[in-house]
Structure 1
Amino acid sequence: MNTFSATTTKLPESCQVEAASRGFRLMIDEPVDAGGTDKGMNPVEMLLCALGGCQTLVACMNAPKLGIELSGCRAELEGDMDLSGQNPYNGYQEIRSTLHVKSCAPQEKLDELAAVVEHNCPVGNTLKGSCRVACRVVADL
């Protein structure tokens, strides 16, 4: 079992949050119309990027094992979320992903690769409900 870790810290300005992991840092924010300064992606956009990045890596790492030569790979993702407040579930209701590859492989092999990506993408598997999420709040700052 491997453990990964990350830290997020609210910054003084508006909705800005700094995220850090393994020495890498990035800015999380909200668009201006949502009260932010629009200096970074919002968390749900970052989730799409995490999924797309994971799918891209899984595809590129597994294509050679399937005899597929890829000279390029890009994921495009979009997700539907009801922000009206009327739906008791306020997360993504559906996420659609398309992997665009540069390859001469026949569609049957690309379909095989898609199945491998679906089965082996840790972020996708997490989103499908295989992970319990627990949150606690402590006063220690």
Structure 2
Amino acid sequence: MDKKQITAVTELDRSHYLTKVYAGGHFIYADEPADVGGTDEGMNPGALLLASLGSCTAITIRMYADRKEMPLEGIKIHLAIVNEEEMSPATKITRKIEFSGDLSAEELTRLMQIADKCPIHKILSNPIQIETTTV
């Protein structure tokens, strides 16, 4: 079976930092806050990274809970990372997960294990190499 790559295209013109992001037929903006010269019309790249991890975690948990017919009503994930200036090889992302629904202690424990199985968590937990070329 041929697996498709995940792809995205970003475009930035003379609009300072307001960046167009296209992926899978969808479109969003990334930007920087006004205090650093952006227009604050989209999430900054760090927030997009956290949003990627949070949404992947929530989707992975939901898929598992639905398959196992768990009474999971909702998932809320709080994520944080230090500012770019403070990043180092020891930088950590904190992720706090809230579940709603009539879940047993065993189900909660299993859902926390499943959270670490989301593809974005796996990507961010391993060394990443970025190969850059010009077109």
Shorter-chain TM-score range: 0.7 to 0.9
**Separation (CA, whole Å) in 1 of partners of 2:26 and 2:66:** 29
Deviation per CA, 1:75-94: give whole Å up to 9, x if none: 1111124515xx6x4x7811
Of 64, 78, 81, the residue aligned with 1:79 is 81
- Partner residue, 2:119: 122
What is the CA-CA distance between 1:66 and the residue it aligns to?
4.2
Query: How many residue pairs were aligned?
Result: 133
- 2-11 or 48-57, which deviates more: 2-11
The ranges of structure 1 where at least 4 consecutive aligned residues each deviate by more than 6 angstroms after the TM superposition are none
Residue 28 of structure 1 corresponds to which residue in structure 2?
Answer: 30
Percent of pairs with identical residues: 25
1:17, 1:82 → 2: CA distance? 19
Contact 1:15 1:35 in 2 (8 A): yes
5 Å matches for 1:102-117? 102-117=100-115
Counterparts of 1:4 and 1:80, CA distance in 2: 27
C-alpha distance in 2 between matches for 1:44 and 1:137: 24
Quote the Cα distance in structure 1 between the aligned partners of 2:102 and 2:4.
Answer: 36
Indicate the RMSD between aligned Cα atoms, in angstroms.
Answer: 2.0
Q: 1:19 to 1:92 in 2, by over 3 A?
A: farther
Of 105-114 and 38-47, deviating more is 105-114
The answer for unaligned runs of 5 or more in structure 1 is none
Residue 34 (structure 1) shift: 1.9
Matches for 1:53-72 after TM superposition, within 5 Å: 53-72=55-74
Unmatched tracts of structure 2, length 5 or more: none
